[in-house]
Amino acid sequence: MAWTLSVEDLGYLAIGCAMLGSGGGGEPHYAVTLLKAILARGAEIRIIDPSELSDDALAVNVGFVGAPITLTEKLIMDGEIVQAIAAMRGRLNAPIDALIAAEIGGFNGLVPLIAAGLTGLPVIDADGMGRAFPRSDHVTFAICGLSAVPTVVSGEGGETVVIENASTAKAEALVRALSVAMGSKCFSVDYPLSGRDVRAHAVPRTVSLARDIGRYLRDAASAPGDPFETLRAALRVRWGLSCELLFEGSITAREHDTKGGFDVGTAIVKRAGNVDDTLRIDFQNEFLVAWKDGNAVASTPDIISVLDSHTLLPITSDAIRYGQRVKVVAMSAPALMRTPRALEVVGPRAFGYDIDYRPVDTRHHAQ
């Protein structure tokens, strides 16, 4: 069930990770450029199934922290990745057996592959969210009660910070503050996990899912008939996922600000020929709630994505621009993110919205 990353996989993974990012996680195409260079140097990057880990294997959670727009403006340095993993290995005084993504969405879905190419470690076909979320304590590992510490944070200037003896919430706050201090971008290694932990608490086979979604979107865009229906059918048949079209129109406004390391704002979509028919999408790095006529038609933890109407390529929240023709879609969240315990952390109320979560697969959407 293990597989080796190829150059052909990269394009599919970039698209799939962007879709699963729900608008956040950072623009993945820069990561593709880095990975192409790493593969060209002869690196072999292996993706292994969670079932291949021994119970006592040691894995660590890796990813960049910061505002997504920063990741498009600042170069990633090999040293900040390698030094953080080496520091975690030294702190744990044990060999690290594998890497796992904090989130499969966006740029961060590809970061473990970059780290694998630099260190020779394999990447687990799983992640901690099944999508992207704004904070590092939004991972399934935290929701299930596992500790984030020790946490190692590294910056582009060579600085390395180890966080000890902190609650998971406090570790997240410290990492977020360090991210701001390090230029709104830092690399984090946290949540030391056993193989047993990974199988019990990670969202499985999401690297493979991202690769498949990329293929589906490419195939759907060139298929005869309704391309969205082609995508929808493939996700339902092959992965058992619901994907619904919420709205189609043009972007007429986007307001945003960077606050505390997050890109926060709203986007407005209007249907052609009817200026009163609009959809509003709120985001905090990721798209959190879609509103129509004052009612929430989709919300976190379901995956709200904005796709280019012609190409079906996902558009991240920081890349939304006036005049883009888009389809707004919602895909069902992983089961681990839909439990009552998870909804307390990643449901709409956790982000300050006075609404209950209604799964996309239970709704009927007027388009």
Mean pLDDT, range 92-118, rounded to an integer: 96
Q: 189-243: per-residue pLDDT in tens?
A: 999 999 999 999 999 999 999 999 999 999 888 888 888 888 899 999 999 999 9
What pLDDT score does 24 carry?
86
pLDDT score at 67? 65
**pLDDT confidence of residue 364:** 56
- pLDDT tier, 367 (very low <50, low <70, confident <90, very high otherwise): very low
Spatial separation of the C-alpha atoms in residues 286 and 17, rounded to whole Å:
13
Confidence of residue 135 (pLDDT cuts 50, 70, 90): confident
Distance spanning both ends of the chain, measured CA to CA: 40
Give the domain 3-204 fold.
CV3147-like fold (3.40.1610)
Residues 6+ apart with CB under 8 A from 29: 14
pLDDT reported for residue 25: 79
* Token digits of residue 362: 């239970």
Whether 261 has a pLDDT exceeding 90, the answer reads: no
The mean pLDDT value for 243-257 works out to 94
Q: pLDDT per residue over 263-320, tens digit each?
A: 789 999 999 877 679 999 999 989 999 999 999 999 999 999 999 999 999 999 989 9
One-letter amino acid for residue 271 of the chain: R
pLDDT of residue 180: 87
> How far apart (Å, rounded) are the C-alpha atoms in residues 108 and 141?
17
Global confidence as pTM:
0.93
Ordered by start, the domain boundaries in the chain are: 3-204, 241-362
Closest CA to 346 of 65, 71, 144: 144
For the segment 119-132, the average pLDDT, to the nearest whole number, is 97
Identify the pLDDT of residue 366.
46
- Are 324 and 250 within 8 A, CB to CB? yes
**What is the rounded average pLDDT for all residues in the chain?**
93
Contact assessment for residue 135 and residue 148, using Cβ atoms and an 8 Å cutoff: no
> What percentage of the chain carries pLDDT values higher than 70?
96
Give the per-residue pLDDT at 306.
Answer: 97
- The CATH code belonging to domain 241-362 is 2.40.390.10
Residue 10 scores a pLDDT above 50: yes
Q: Higher pLDDT residue, 197 or 28? A: 197
